[in-house]
């Protein structure tokens, strides 16, 4: 199953103009260190128990550090009929692009 992807530039444009559901599947310590503003933490190991967090109107965008873990999460969630999009390059690419991040717990 092919999972659609977007890059961080496309994600930034989406975040400026719409209400976007963004799930961060990194570990809690990674999430608390630096994340894209508005991202909700659902660590990869907990995705099977939290599939409903990905449901909603329109696609859910999934991010990790580089794109690998988020792709695995997308593949799992897509198997449940949920529209998901992987963020290629992940939080690492977001930070490398010079965009702002937030830190701390939710």
pLDDT for residue 6: 98
Residue 76 lies in a domain: yes
Residue 17 lies in a domain: yes
pLDDT for residue 106: 61
Question: What backbone torsions phi and psi does residue 51 show, to the nearest 5 degrees?
Answer: -55, -35
Residue 58 lies in a domain: yes
- What is the total count of domains within the chain? 1
pLDDT in tens, 36-77: 999 999 999 999 999 999 999 999 999 999 999 999 999 999
| CATH label of the domain that carries residue 64 | 3.40.250.10
Find all residues with CB under 8 Å of 90, minimum gap 6, and list them: 63, 64, 65, 66, 67, 70
pLDDT for residue 17: 81
Domain, as residue range, for 37: 5-96
Residue 103 lies in a domain: no
Cα-based distances in Å from 98 to 28, 41, 87, 91: 22, 22, 16, 11
Residue 104 lies in a domain: no
Q: What is the pTM of this model?
A: 0.96
Between residues 1 and 3, the one the model is more confident about = 3
Residue 37 lies in a domain: yes
Please spell the DSSP secondary structure of 47-99, one letter per residue.
Answer: GGG-GGGG-SSS-EEEE-SSSHHHHHHHHHHHTTT--EEEETTHHHHHHHTT-
Residue 105 lies in a domain: no
Residue 86 lies in a domain: yes
């Amino acid at each position: 199953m092919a999972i659609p992807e977007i890059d961080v530039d496309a994600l930034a444009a989406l975040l400026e103009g719409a209400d976007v559901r963004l799930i961060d599947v990194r570990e809690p310590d990674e999430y608390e260190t630096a994340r894209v503003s508005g991202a909700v933490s659902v660590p990869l190991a907990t995705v099977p128990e939290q599939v409903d967090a990905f449901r909603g109107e329109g696609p859910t965008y999934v991010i990790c550090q580089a794109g690998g873990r988020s792709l695995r999460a997308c593949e799992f969630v897509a198997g449940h009929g949920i529209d998901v999009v992987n963020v290629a390059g992940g939080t690492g690419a977001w930070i490398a692009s010079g965009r702002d991040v937030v830190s701390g717990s939710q």
